Amino acid sequence: MRAASRGLALAALLLASASCEEEAQAPSPRQPDGFADALALATLPDESPDEAVLEVTLEAKVIEIEVLPGRKTPVWTYGGSLPGPLLRLKAGDRLVVHFVNSLPEPTSVHWHGVRLPNAMDGSPPHTQDPVEPGGRFDYEFVVPDPGLFWYHPHENSAAQLGYGLYGALLVDPATPEPEGLGDEVVMVLSDMAIDEATGAILPQDQGGDLGTLFGREGGAMLVNGKVRPTLRARNGLRQRWRIVNAARSRYFLLTLPGHSFERIGGETGLYAEPVATDQLLVLPGSRTDVVVTPNGAPGEVTTLTWVPYDRGYGSIEFRDPASLVDVAIEGDRAEVDALPVLGGGVEPLDLTGATTVDVRLTQGEAPDGTLELGINDVPFAQAEPFVAEVGETQVWTVHNEMDWAHPFHLHGFFFQPLDESGAFVQPVEWRDTADVPERGTLRFAVRYDARPGMWMFHCHILDHADAGMMGMVDLTMP
């Protein structure tokens, strides 16, 4: 009897041991296979054998793409895709882009948010001549900072971006980030004005001065060039969404019913701690880095939704929310560890001895009676540059004298936003694009490193920039 008991005990022990071994070897929870295939971005072959160099040929050309179901649209593209190819490399790597213009008009490539040499900024006529049809230009620079950036034209920029010219540039940190931030998805938000009957792109000057004043928005809202794609998601398993707003004018205020967003970073680098929010505002030209934990019963679908954002007169009236991405929940709920310590954050700039700069965003009338926007009542074509020296720290106050908010963008440099009292906005972060509220102000601090040249700043409602709301900083050596 004792022998039988010992046998049963030994069998139970072996079963328990096997069970523990099976648990130890159980695979980690994962997203459904191909979970983000519907949002996949095109890539380009790397022409360099050097692991620290990404070298590509990028051709701007017109091709027909089915943006709206059943309709072909002649889209202006980088590399034949909408959006353009995702360019991905590490901080400290060198990017070499052999740009070819096969479009019917001159263009350029501006590398939005990247701290690069002035000659590579892609801003005609100050940093280069526009690339003529059939022409070429080589962009070559080191990408010094991690983060999500993007690229677009800076020649007839509102129209050309509206035709489809934009793409994402993702720079990974030189050292690995904390594990457990979530499975990554890059989302390029945009819109396009398309005739639903024919598929043709509508005129880029539709609405005349009123269209310019409001900022033109296309009726087709796109995520990675698609109308309402589906993203699959394992219940309870984090996803990391890297989002860029590449629209010419539209503010994207985002909600995901039943969920909150954890902002873990902005335009460059991680925060020290996550910031939870139920709504996510992404300005034209800006980016954000968020963690989302999808939850719901298997088969349930929740939808990332655009919500009208009150940026001034007429911006929310008679406008309804719109669906952007369907998030389809699959599988039993995954049990995962807490979000890891981010370990990011930046130190505030020393403002001792900083120079003050006052800027007004203004609306006026040209001699022929048409709308004219400007900086300090002067349109871009007639403006004298602001001055700065390498090594100088400046505190800018940007006053908005209009009834609409403006996303303010500074080329080539990061800045740190300040509040009304002059204290640093929390969390302290590096930005290159920030909002100037209607009839309000934006304050920020910027320090100029050793990259002299003529650097643009402008409203990133590109219709406003093209109408004159743009200026230059003439940065010189001391």
The pLDDT of residue 6: 45
DSSP string, 17-32: HHHHHHHHTPPPP-PP
Residue 77 — very low, low, confident or very high, per pLDDT cuts 50/70/90?
very high
For residue 320, give both structure tokens: 């309804």
Residue 416 — very low, low, confident or very high, per pLDDT cuts 50/70/90?
very high
More confident residue, 10 or 432: 432
pLDDT digits over 127-144, tens only?
A: 999 999 999 999 999 999
Q: How far apart are CA 185 and CA 198, in angstroms?
A: 32
CA dihedral over 410, 412, 417, 421, signed as positive or negative: negative
pTM metric for this prediction: 0.93
The pLDDT of residue 30: 93
The pLDDT of residue 10: 45
Residue 4 — very low, low, confident or very high, per pLDDT cuts 50/70/90?
very low
Q: How many residues does the chain have?
A: 478
Average of pLDDT values for 446-450?
A: 97
From residue 88, give the alpha-carbon distance in Å to each of 34, 91, 94, 153.
20, 10, 11, 19
For residue 111, give both structure tokens: 């590398």
Domains of the chain: 37-172 (2.60.40.420), 183-330 (2.60.40.420), 355-476 (2.60.40.420)
The pLDDT of residue 28: 86
Render the burial of 22-59: b for 16+ CB within 10 Å, e for the rest: eeeeeeeeebeeebbebbebbebeeeeeeeebbbbebb
Q: Is the pLDDT of residue 14 over 80?
A: no
The pLDDT of residue 27: 75
The pLDDT of residue 314: 84
The identity of residue 67, as a single letter, is V
pLDDT digits over 354-365, tens only?
A: 999 999 999 999
More confident residue, 433 or 13: 433
Residue 291 — very low, low, confident or very high, per pLDDT cuts 50/70/90?
very high
For residue 459, give both structure tokens: 């409203």
Do 374 and 362 meet the contact criterion of CB atoms below 8 Å apart?
yes
The pLDDT of residue 1: 41
The pLDDT of residue 3: 43
Average of pLDDT values for 48-72?
A: 97
pLDDT digits over 195-234, tens only?
A: 999 999 999 999 999 999 999 999 999 999 999 999 999 9
Average of pLDDT values for 454-461?
A: 97
Residue 256 makes CB contacts below 8 A (sequence gap 6+) with 292, 302, 303, 304, 305, 327
Average of pLDDT values for 117-136?
A: 97
Q: How far apart are CA 393 and CA 334, in angstroms?
A: 49
The pLDDT of residue 25: 57
| Percent over 70 (pLDDT), the chain | 95
The beta strand positions in 26-182, using DSSP E, are: 53-65, 73-78, 84-90, 94-101, 110-112, 136-142, 147-152, 167-172
The pLDDT of residue 7: 47
| DSSP secondary structure code for residue 81 in this structure | B
Q: Is the pLDDT of residue 12 over 70?
A: no
The closest alpha carbon to 398, from 355, 459, 455, belongs to 459
The closest alpha carbon to 185, from 86, 281, 274, belongs to 86
Residue 318 — very low, low, confident or very high, per pLDDT cuts 50/70/90?
confident
Q: H-helix or E-strand containing 161?
A: helix 157-163
Q: How far apart are the first and last CA of the chain?
A: 96
The closest alpha carbon to 84, from 110, 106, 121, belongs to 110
Q: What is the mean pLDDT of the chain?
A: 93
pLDDT digits over 166-188, tens only?
A: 999 999 999 999 999 999 999 99
The pLDDT of residue 440: 96
